[in-house]
Amino acid sequence: MNHKFAREGFEQQLIQQQEEKPNSLLLGKRIPKDFFITQGTGESDLTIHAGSYHLALREAGIERHNIMVYSSTLPSIATEIKKPKSQDQGAVMETIMAVSNAKTGERASAGIVFGWLHHKKTNEKYGGVVCEYNGNDSEGDVKKMLQGNIMELYENGYSEDYVLKDPKFIIKSFIPKKKFGTALVALCFTNYVYPVIKQ
């Protein structure tokens, strides 16, 4: 089967169905808007996923959500807000997250840096770039690595037209005393814009 033609045929069918149903909407890709920053550590003598990782999520205040992880870009409309005081049990929480796991006596370090791209001529905000770190280095070394990572990303695709402004570092590092330890930091999205292609 030619998957390209099959996909195009499916898209045409969706458009035709939408035209036949005037009360329906054809929506474009949703765009993440508001986000908050959080971080946490956890340790357990039992396991990682249902143990130290869950407890790190709990300290971060997002353990009641179903977590999904994005890659590393921010749209121009993305806006940092304060962390909400309440959670919605079972709701999907989409994030850009760094997670590091370690054993007793080892260091677990997780870090994120993000900065905003502004057009050199107009100063218009284009969007943001994000880099994550997961490993066992000290906080100072993590910051140096993140600085190098975001500059490499910026210089390979953005530096000709944009200026990188206001880099922000979020780093969490600790040495667990129990059998398993987890450190995490995350940007967590709370809402989205849905472009309407056809109404």
Q: Considering the domain boundaries, does residue 21 fall inside one?
A: no
Q: Rounded distance, CA 167 to CA 121, Å?
A: 20
DSSP string, 19-39: HH-TT--EE---EE-EEEEEE
Give me the sign of the Cα torsion angle 87, 93, 97, 101: positive
Tens of pLDDT, residue by residue over 39-94, are 999 999 999 999 999 999 999 999 999 999 998 899 999 999 999 988 889 999 99
Q: Considering the domain boundaries, does residue 125 fall inside one?
A: yes
Q: Which residues constitute the domain of residue 96?
A: 28-194
Give me the sign of the Cα torsion angle 185, 169, 70, 79: positive
**Domains contained in the chain, number:** 1
In 53-166, which residue ranges form alpha helices assigned H by DSSP? 54-60, 139-155
Q: Considering the domain boundaries, does residue 182 fall inside one?
A: yes
Q: Considering the domain boundaries, does residue 22 fall inside one?
A: no
Q: Considering the domain boundaries, does residue 174 fall inside one?
A: yes
Tens of pLDDT, residue by residue over 125-135, are 999 999 999 99
Q: Which residues pair with 196 in a beta bridge?
A: 27
Q: Identify the CATH number of the domain in which residue 51 sits.
A: 3.50.20.10
